[in-house]
Structure 1
């Protein structure tokens, strides 16, 4: 964990590496799978940004954003918010929101027009509160039995305050 981006009374948002996000992401998003199961294709791309929320010396939340079009859609200037994970004991304290906002700010600075994600059904309300809208139908993934997802998007040109 290298450089501080923002600080809150409870946590700091810092730049982290792909290697640093994986253990927490695995624990929160893929607890029933082998280590490394939460690794994403974009994790090691040069344009990918990984952020972490730190309390003391403990990494309690992570978020990743990468330049990537949604599947089957050639938007250009699209960024994917992915790998959002906050430890259970730290949820509801603004950590996920702060991580998402910093990721979205990064996309804006890179002149992105849209940020999208494959949101778990249980997280739809979280994403709605920060400016995302539902796009498309619910779908499932073989690696996450029982979970349903949908693509959600945040159009940066339309966004005033997330």
Structure 2
């Protein structure tokens, strides 16, 4: 894995990667979350280049991460894993006892490696199948 620096970023800093990786065929506004201002946003940097982003929303003891995106050239190098581990630690630091996400079904195996399990049935956002996944912290 290349040297990675994980740090807090602004919601706007996440938009370009969210758009490029998750929904490139939609307008940029599509990747914005209605409560982005209330979230905690993190970026993984390699040599000062932002290569992965994730957003965390904590409400009481529930934490949800959203819009997790890693630039295609940096996938499968451990960067996303490091970022997800960081977010789980942040969720605990904010007194969350449960964490969850709506995972694209083709990413479920990745999340399972972190102990997240399917919670409910498959649903769709447009043509893309998703499953809610979560775990206790």
Shorter-chain TM-score above 0.5: yes
CA distance in 2, matches of 1:109, 1:50: 15
* Mapping 1:9-88, distance limit 5 Å: 9-45=2-38, 48-68=39-59, 76-88=60-72
What is the CA distance between 1:41 and its match in structure 2? Answer: 2.1
2:111 maps to 1:127? yes
CA RMSD of aligned residues (A): 1.3
SS at match of 2:41: strand
Does 1 or 2 have the higher relative contact order (CA < 8 Å, sep 6+)?
Answer: 2
1:119-151: per-residue Cα shift (whole Å, max 9, x none)? 00011011000110000000012xxx3210011
CA distance in 1, matches of 2:11, 2:92: 22
2:136 maps to 1:152? no
Gaps of 5+ in 2: none
2:78 maps to 1:97? no
Gaps of 5+ in 1: 1-7, 69-75, 157-162
TM-score, normalised with respect to structure 2: 0.94
CA distance in 1, matches of 2:35, 2:78: 25
CA distance in 1, matches of 2:47, 2:93: 29
Instruction: Indicate the structure (1 or 2) with the bigger Cα radius of gyration.
Output: 1
